[in-house]
C-alpha cells in the first residue's frame, strides 16, 4: 500500500490525505524533516542519495531526511528517519522551520540537529555513500559545485550556516 501524506495549506494546516504519488504529481504542499547529524568534533554527515531515487538521484543531501506520514508529527518523524536511514538514535533539537517552496519540493520542512559519535549504518536502498565534513568544507563544495547537492539541502544548509556562529 502506498504511503499517505497529509496535504496542507499555505499555513501548514491539514486539508486531507492523499497517496505519495498523487501529492508529488500535483505538487501539493506536504511535510518533511531533515536532520543534520554532527560528531563531537564538529563534522557533519552528508549522504549521497541512491541513484534509484525518483527525486534528485545521486546528489548529496542532509544526514537524514524524509516525509512526514499522514497523521504523524514532525517530532515523531525526525527520530524515525534518523534511525531508518542511519541506524542512529540521538537527541534531536528542532532548529528551524522552512516554508513550502519549489526548492523544498513544496514541503514544509523542519530542520533538526543532533550529535552522536555512534557508528552509522546507512540504509543501502536510500544512501549510496556518506561523508563526514566540517561545515567549512561543505560550504566550499557548495560554492564550487552547487549542482552536486539537492536544492533543499542548499537552502537548509545556507540558512543554517548564516544563523550559526
CATH for 50: 3.90.79.10
C-alpha cell at 155: 537552502
pLDDT per residue as tens digits for the range 62-116: 999 999 999 999 999 999 999 999 999 999 999 999 999 999 999 999 999 999 9
**pLDDT grade, residue 165 (50/70/90)?**
low
- Whether the CB-CB separation of 65 and 79 falls below 8 Å is answered with no
User: How confident is the model over 53-60, as a mean pLDDT?
Assistant: 76
* Domain span at 68: 4-163
Number of domains in the chain: 1
Amino acid at each position: 500500500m502506498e504511503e499517505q501524506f497529509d496535504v496542507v495549506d499555505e499555513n501548514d494546516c491539514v486539508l486531507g490525505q492523499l497517496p505519495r504519488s498523487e501529492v508529488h504529481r500535483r505538487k501539493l504542499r506536504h511535510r518533511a524533516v531533515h536532520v543534520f547529524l554532527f560528531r563531537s568534533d564538529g563534522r557533519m554527515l552528508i549522504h549521497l542519495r541512491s541513484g534509484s531515487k525518483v527525486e534528485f538521484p545521486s546528489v548529496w543531501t542532509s544526514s537524514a531526511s524524509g516525509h512526514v506520514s499522514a497523521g504523524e508529527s514532525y517530532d515523531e518523524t525526525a527520530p524515525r528517519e534518523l534511525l531508518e536511514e542511519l541506524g542512529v538514535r540521538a537527541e534531536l533539537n528542532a532548529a528551524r522551520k522552512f516554508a513550502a517552496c519549489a526548492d523544498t519540493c513544496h514541503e514544509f520542512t523542519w530542520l533538526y540537529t543532533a550529535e552522536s559519535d555512534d557508528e552509522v549504518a546507512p540504509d543501502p536502498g536510500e544512501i549510496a555513500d556518506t561523508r563526514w565534513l566540517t561545515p567549512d568544507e561543505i560550504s566550499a563544495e557548495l560554492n564550487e559545485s552547487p549542482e552536486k547537492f539537492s536544492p533543499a539541502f542548499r537552502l537548509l544548509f545556507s540558512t543554517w550556516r548564516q544563523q550559526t556562529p
